[in-house]
């Protein structure tokens, strides 16, 4: 095995050590007010004997909160004697973005989830992605990276994964999602995903799942409850923790986003007003929302129509919308290929 | 009667003309890219014979959308033959703030609702407030200024007014609120209100009511439905429109915010996570939320406690909170003084 | 005579001293990088015996260059023996705006020409306006403040003044303009002018004239030639300098901007494309330009029409235009009231 | 033929379809206010049978307007029956820069004309350049990319191309320019051009021409008239449209910029004042302009001298100049190598 | 006595209560991310029986640290049994400026020390100054407001006060300074001081002293030691604390800044390089520093000369200097008027 | 030898020419206000016959001044007859950063000292680094790149170099440092240095030394005196200039920074207050400073402890510190490996 390329990250974590470690990843960040400084990213590693390794991350986008809260709780409380194997927890991965509650980092303006597999000589996000790719993913059997809709979107609480050609891996991922137990598990074909965390994990053979747990830049109590329960369920499902999986009242439904053009790019700028709530069943051509234009009180609102039938799963999470912003996404029931 | 001081606003609106007028208020705005330009603020005036004048405004804060939508609809559709009296509608009053969906204006960084009674030689917001005070409020018998929680707050849909010493005016305002028909009507003693739109209207003898119809910088379908119904109900209640008031299933409950220190200034910075949803009944000392700090996974969340018993009416509308931000407001049932 | 209120300006200029003085007005400006610093505004005073005082200013707006150049030349070369009386020259009055070539100051975001009569305790622009009002205008018989269109406008080279009720002053001003000798002298009734330099000078009994010498944020060679000649002509006309007035081939034509609503606020945003050049004679209702919208290639351009007949004197000086920006101004021949 | 690398652009355009298509290129742009949004770039394709393909672009720099207007008009009006072959029209290529009327994009701060051949994993401008290189240029026989001077320069209306080693291609390009019919056709050896649109097109064997049609960030009526006529002439010249070439009164003169150091980097900061207008014939060592320094009225202006004899073709388009900015460019008559 | 005008500040501090109180002043601050929020400014009040009241403040400018540290220590440790009278301590008065370590507030861009006596309806700094003027200064017999040079200046550690016409007050102030025991006590006539904290306190009859304890935006260990010792000495001198005044080795020397034009406005921009260290004795006309200009290696440095003889007390605290910045201040020995 | 890749830099410097040349490197910089402009970086080359080439640079970081001053003086005064060999002097290398006195460039936000070996198609800093690597370093036998602490650090005046595996080069570098004669010569193993100027020079076989001459964003008179003397000493030591090396009173002490984790990342945010001055001898575990938190006057300061024994060589140069900023660096005596 070749040695991974050097990272700029400085840390005293020993991922092979038994027990509980609470420390930081120090990523050097040289700027006008700090020539030799670093950003300190908290990480907790809990290890007990042999067993699978689960890498749990949240805060890949700083304005997605349910996962950050659920992992902060787990990171504070998980003890070696509760597990068999290893759990690596980073509750606020893209830490500079989490500090300001934004999708992008104030340091380099980048989305770390478009910066994989990373570059040790690149910007902050690229160098951090490089560390994840080369020093964390090789340790992991499974990665769960917890997302929500962020400020621009509002989604029905769901887990997510990609439609993979490898049926065995696809089935293992769906089984993980069903154990996690969100109301929906939404799958899509990776679009513009060459540089995402999840695609990188998949290419490295890691079982990989993410989520959408709410949105509108606020904490969803429903989404948070689903995340809390799902993480424990996943630990049990993977054989890392003992116990029973806590099943929701309704089993998880598998859904798909059929095509890459289905993100409902807004045809105008204004105030986006939904006509129907999330979860509504719509037909192709139905108006699912309207765009109101404040500059002209004589102008009727501009309707936004569904391109295909299905369930309204995601819509604009802010009042104002700009031409080209995603307005509404409809999902269909997943039919496993025979 | 003394002539009102001159305003910089240029408009061809004649408020005394019968019929329907759709026009703009042009407020001169001289800046680097436009020496002699203006901001065009749409206004619709509908007048038919004699009868009271209702001044309807929204967009006093640009990130409060339900009122803007409801008034854009009314402005587009209201016709003279439907009314007796006069309705003046400004769906996006602080227009520069509405264009960017922010509380404050990008022009002068001001909250117009802290800029009353205004100043014709002041900044944009001050000069606009001056026009409202001197050219619109003198025409009005009643003002309804529609607010929501904006991006920083999330509120139960409510109308609002001040606890006034003049019992007759107080009763007329509560009657208007009950006709409007929001689930709650919340009253408070004006704090730091010397410069608000509502206090200015009150000082001028105008019956004055506002609202909180949602928040989190998104459009609330519930809040919007309440606004749409309430506006029509108000027109009927005031005798401007014919018809029946559409009563909600539950009559409006009158509530109060007991004291000015009850806005729940956050004791720390982090992610604000509610423990209970809006509408929950809490006791004094109950934890209503927690502040999670991403920089230290060993630190337990910092609880936020209710200072008094009542109903949780408003809470933080964004995931991130800073020390001093309002976190949670509890209201009590209003007991009319004997 | 009451003592003028104290100014923050520090200077060693003695306006009563005979001869030539070249110095600075130091206006204290305390900011993050300079606690006790000041902005140094060059001023040149040339005095010789008795005679009228002419106050010459340019750079009231930083992106208007012809006057700055003409006054820098005069300031460098004028000698006491050439005059009888006093000439006070400030080539770059709103110095911080001139340094960046913007209409507004980067210090306080203000237009000094909306900040008169000023306030010694106000912002930088207000404190500077206060100095001009209280320490310079009382010395002056005549003020010529040289403007151009700045980046947002392009104008036919003209002198300008207000239509004053005092016929004697009006006639003296027009006589000054005719001596100056720009192709046009454009007069308007002051609108929103309570806080301009010119209105303040007029209220103080100073003969007051300004100009528009070009625009588009570039130096107009024609406008500069007119300014250079006009300043010398004015010195001769006022009896400060000896010599002959250099008459242009065509005498100055007196024009008016008829009404305050005639500034042609743009009805849409896009690229402003004139249909006719400056100086064209148009009829009411003629399209004088079009607004092209890049977001929709099916949409025809939105025409901008002249509200009244006359000569196209001023139009948008940048390619992009926003709703409400001034697009085109038409002037008419001035008919002196009988 | 190898498949071009995948692009992030989503579009329903079928470049091989007969007839007229009006659509958008959706370039995904994930940012704080839009996680899954896109920028919509209008494109019009008109195809009729066989014949050459002309790719027409403008808005490569957002503050260059004549080409955007001329192509918006052509895009709105061109119909299949008018042509033989294919015309692909993108009137506002670097759309985010065009929306704000700036040379660089507000998204990534890049000049797309320094971002070729592009990178699908790079920034917005790089990913868009990649689409042009890999999906549009391979379809084109000829590319005309319409530029103007932007806000910083003012140029005599001209077409432009590179001095190419391949004489046949050079001759075909000059013939195209002469058909287009601008007063001047200016050629230079590519400097720092490895990453321009034009160089990339040339390397791919596409006949490639650009232009300078005005400047100063305003619309030049002369430049626009030349662009309108030139585009139609080019369609006729290329055999795509029927008809007669409309010849200008004076035939196009071929000129060259002799050397890469001839861009006249300003030796000081201040106000740039030309001494002579564009088109003037100057000798080496002639002062073509002066830099005036407002901070010192005793300092004479700093002259800027021509480095060689020729025609003044381009000069500073803004009043303020900084050390190192291009101040004046002189061109010479082109002498075809024997 | 008239009631002071209402303040927006909310606090549970009772200044008349015996004992030690640690609390906050909540100043409402309504902005885009917090509609009903506040800034929490720590305040500590320690009271024991009767005796004088000393108001101790630091952080009036956020980049002046020695006073903030010394007062944080006193605020944490002072107990009622140690005093007789009352001590009100605000270690970080202009709290938003202190959070960012800048002279001016990021909220309103204001220097609170140019915002007195304040305005309850003004900006944040003005409303806070109003609270100090109307609710704190009326309680105080003595105010010590601890300053340092901030980032732009470097000063010899000194106390400071104004040259007052009231000799008795002047003597009491000098006596306080001598007890405090800084190496120098520097006095000046108030210039541009109508709006400073100190002038306002003086007008209200409060003995008022400030300081300069270092600069360059760093913590001076010498200045800090002087502040720590001086505060205890002042408590003893005023009879609030028991004990002995700790006298420095050298008694405090009284000095004056002779005239308001002596702040050494820099004549050019570049790197400011002192020729002599602080404390040097210079003659009028001596070069005390040089300005180096990086843009021209042939240009000799521009010398900065002392305008009068004395001790170099203060000089530029940053490497870069701009024209008009204060470069060097010289002080003279104070000779009490006979 | 392969030809170096083309650079965008335009210059008339001939590095092989005998005598003294004063010129500029023009680096093209195309931006919104200058399409075809350039940044002009002064360079002075002095050559006389044969002899070694010394490349002297400062201003690699714009807020490090002592080297810029010392090299401006040398550049202005050095004459060919004073040397044997060649001296290339660039006093303000990263010129845009030097103009604003910041570590990073305002053009691209980059630290040029993290941008080596550079890229001709990259950003400004990358393209400039590429020129240095490919056109200057190949000419040099020795490079001295003069640094200071910048605004964020304060250091004891020192020269610096890397601990190299090549003992001969190491010894030659130490000999150069001893001739230069700073009080300390500090060596470290390169960490995160793949992209620094110094590492690049080393890889190219150039003897390479840098320095830390002060900090806190101010000019240190001690550090400047050391730089002035050291440069002359180096010229003599290298045989370029005649004369005697001026030895300091104390010979240079060789020191090391033992490990890469020893930069003292701050554990909290607040005001950093040193407990001991630079040069103090500390033991492992000693508190060397405290972080004071202004938000809570009850909280004791957070001590910062030394991780190992040695001399305190560097500490925070600003009052405010953020978590992760470098707070204090301790060095040990260098023991040459046997």
Token representation of residue E111? 């220097």
**Is the predicted pLDDT of residue F1 greater than 50, yes or no?**
no
Neighbour tally for A272: CB within 10 Å:
29
**Is the predicted pLDDT of residue B191 greater than 80, yes or no?**
no
Is A31 within 8 Å of chain F by CB?
Answer: yes
Residue among F22, F68, F271 minimizing CB distance to E219: F271
For C88, what's the count of Cα atoms within 13 Å in the CB-facing half-sphere? 24
Q: In whole angstroms, what is the distance from residue C249 CA to residue C182 CA?
A: 11
**Is the predicted pLDDT of residue C3 greater than 90, yes or no?**
no
Over residues C253-281, the pLDDT tens digits come to 999 998 766 778 999 999 999 999 999 99
- What single DSSP character describes residue C215? B
How many helices (H) and strands (E) would you count in chain E?
6, 17
pLDDT recorded at residue A258: 82
For chain B, the structural domain boundaries read 19-257, 270-333
Does A19-256 carry CATH code 3.40.630.10? yes
Residue among C28, C34, C40 minimizing CB distance to E152: C34
Tell me if E19-256 shares its fold with E270-333.
Answer: no
**Residue whose entry in the numeric block shows the structure tokens 């704190």:** E136
Q: What is the pLDDT along chain D (338 residues), one digit of tens a residue?
A: 455 678 989 999 999 999 999 999 999 999 999 999 999 999 999 999 999 999 999 999 999 999 999 999 999 999 999 999 999 999 999 999 999 999 999 999 999 999 999 999 899 999 999 999 999 999 999 999 999 999 999 999 999 999 999 999 999 999 999 999 999 999 998 666 679 999 999 999 999 999 999 999 999 999 999 999 999 999 999 999 999 999 999 999 999 998 766 778 999 999 999 999 999 999 999 999 999 999 999 999 999 999 889 999 999 999 999 999 999 999 999 986 55
- Cα distance from D269 to chain F (closest Cα, Å)? 12
F234 φ, ψ (degrees, to nearest 5): -65, -40
Q: In whole angstroms, what is the distance from residue F133 CA to residue F202 CA?
A: 11
pTM: 0.95
State which fold the B19-257 domain adopts. Answer: Aminopeptidase (3.40.630)
Over residues E256-303, the pLDDT tens digits come to 998 766 778 999 999 999 999 999 999 999 999 999 999 999 999 999
Write down the CATH number for the domain with range C270-332.
2.40.50.100
**Is the predicted pLDDT of residue B338 greater than 70, yes or no?**
no
**Is the predicted pLDDT of residue B224 greater than 70, yes or no?**
yes
Locate the chain B residue with the closest alpha carbon to A320: B101
User: How far is the CA of D17 from the CAs of D22, D71, D89, in angstroms?
Assistant: 12, 21, 15
Q: What is the pLDDT along chain A (338 residues), one digit of tens a residue?
A: 455 678 989 999 999 999 999 999 999 999 999 999 999 999 999 999 999 999 999 999 999 999 999 999 999 999 999 999 999 999 999 999 999 999 999 999 999 999 999 999 899 999 999 999 999 999 999 999 999 999 999 999 999 999 999 999 999 999 999 999 999 999 998 666 679 999 999 999 999 999 999 999 999 999 999 999 999 999 999 999 999 999 999 999 999 998 766 778 999 999 999 999 999 999 999 999 999 999 999 999 999 999 889 999 999 999 999 999 999 999 999 986 55
**Residue whose entry in the numeric block shows the structure tokens 């509120």:** B155
Is C44 within 8 Å of chain D by CB?
Answer: yes
Chains touching F by CB (3 or more pairs below 8 Å): A, D, E
Residue among C98, C100, C273 minimizing CB distance to D224: C273
C-beta atoms of F33 and D263 within 8 A: no
User: How far is the CA of D14 from the CAs of A40, C149, D91, D92, in angstroms?
Assistant: 50, 47, 18, 20
- Which chain B residues have a beta carbon less than 8 Å from that of C111? 30-31
Over residues F42-77, the pLDDT tens digits come to 999 999 999 999 999 999 999 999 999 999 999 999
A residues 196-235 closer than 8 Å to B (CB): 216-219, 221, 224
State which fold the E270-333 domain adopts. Answer: OB fold (Dihydrolipoamide Acetyltransferase, E2P) (2.40.50)
Question: What does the DSSP assignment read for D81-117?
Answer: GGBSEEEEEETTSSHHHHHHT-SS-TTT---GGGSTT
CA F90-D266-F46 angle, 5° bins: 25
Q: In whole angstroms, what is the distance from residue C246 CA to residue C227 CA?
A: 12
Token representation of residue D268? 């000081």
Interface predicted TM-score (ipTM): 0.95
**Is the predicted pLDDT of residue F143 greater than 80, yes or no?**
yes
Is the peptide bond prior to A136 cis by the omega test (within 30 degrees of 0)?
Answer: no
Token representation of residue A166? 């490898």
Q: In whole angstroms, what is the distance from residue E55 CA to residue E146 CA?
A: 11
**Is the predicted pLDDT of residue F306 greater than 70, yes or no?**
yes
Of the candidates A267, A285, A263, the residue with the CA atom closest to the CA atom of residue A329 = A263
Over residues B133-158, the pLDDT tens digits come to 999 999 999 999 999 999 999 999 99
Q: In whole angstroms, what is the distance from residue D40 CA to residue D27 CA?
A: 7
Locate the chain F residue with the closest alpha carbon to E93: F294
Q: In whole angstroms, what is the distance from residue A181 CA to residue A177 CA?
A: 6
Q: How far is CA F235 from the centre of its chain?
A: 18
- Chain C contact probe: residue of B31, B33, B35, B130 with most C CBs at under 10 A: B35
Give the three-state DSSP class for A255. strand
C-beta atoms of D32 and A263 within 8 A: no
CATH class of the structural domain F270-331: mainly beta
Asked if A150 and A317 touch (Cβ cutoff 8 Å), the reply is yes
User: How far is the CA of B40 from the CAs of A119, B30, C260, E250, in angstroms?
Assistant: 49, 13, 15, 69
Is A39 within 8 Å of chain F by CB?
Answer: yes
Is C13 within 8 Å of chain E by CB?
Answer: no
Of the candidates B331, B212, B335, B316, the residue with the CA atom closest to the CA atom of residue B282 = B331
- Which chain C residues have a beta carbon less than 8 Å from that of B34? 152, 322, 324-326
Residue among D114, D152, D194 minimizing CB distance to F34: D152
D123 φ, ψ (degrees, to nearest 5): -75, 180
Is A325 within 8 Å of chain D by CB?
Answer: yes
pLDDT recorded at residue F189: 83
- Which chain A residues have a beta carbon less than 8 Å from that of B320? 100-101
Is B151 within 8 Å of chain E by CB?
Answer: yes
Please report the beta strands in chain D, taking only residues with DSSP state E, as ranges in sequence order: 19-28, 38-48, 53-58, 85-90, 142-146, 153-155, 158-162, 184-188, 207-212, 253-256, 270-274, 281-282, 287-292, 302-305, 310-316, 320-321, 328-333
Give the three-state DSSP class for C121. coil
């Amino acid at each position: 095995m070749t040695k991974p390329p050097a990272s700029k990250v400085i840390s005293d974590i020993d991922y092979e050590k038994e027990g509980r470690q609470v420390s930081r990843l120090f990523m050097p960040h040289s700027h006008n007010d700090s020539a030799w400084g670093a950003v300190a990213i908290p990480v907790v590693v809990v290890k007990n004997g042999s067993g699978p390794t689960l890498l749990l991350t949240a805060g890949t986008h700083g304005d997605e909160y349910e996962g950050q809260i659920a992992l902060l709780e787990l990171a504070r409380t998980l003890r070696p004697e509760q597990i068999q194997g290893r759990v690596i927890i980073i509750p606020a991965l893209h830490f500079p973005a989490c500090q300001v509650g934004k999708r992008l980092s104030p340091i380099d303006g980048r989305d770390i989830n478009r910066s994989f597999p990373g570059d040790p000589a690149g910007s902050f996000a690229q160098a951090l992605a490089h560390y994840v790719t080369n020093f964390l993913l090789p340790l992991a059997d499974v990665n769960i990276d917890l997302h929500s809709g962020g400020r621009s979107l509002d989604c029905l609480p769901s887990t997510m994964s990609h439609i993979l050609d490898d049926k065995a891996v696809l089935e293992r991922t769906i089984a993980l999602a069903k154990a996690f137990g969100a109301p929906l598990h939404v799958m899509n074909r990776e679009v513009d995903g060459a540089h995402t965390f999840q695609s990188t994990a998949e290419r490295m053979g890691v079982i990989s799942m993410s989520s959408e747990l709410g949105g509108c830049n606020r904490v969803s109590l429903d989404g948070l409850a689903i995340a809390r329960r799902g993480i424990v369920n996943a630990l049990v499902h993977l054989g890392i923790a003992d116990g029973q999986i806590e099943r929701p009242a309704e089993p998880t439904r598998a859904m798909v986003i059929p095509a890459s053009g289905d993100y409902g790019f807004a045809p105008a700028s204004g105030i986006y007003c939904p006509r129907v709530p999330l979860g509504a069943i719509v037909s192709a051509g139905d108006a699912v929302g309207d765009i109101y234009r404040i500059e002209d009180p004589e102008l009727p609102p501009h309707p936004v129509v569904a391109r295909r039938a299905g369930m309204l799963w995601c819509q604009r999470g802010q009042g104002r919308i700009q031409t080209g912003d995603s307005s509404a996404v409809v999902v269909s029931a997943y039919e496993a290929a025979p």
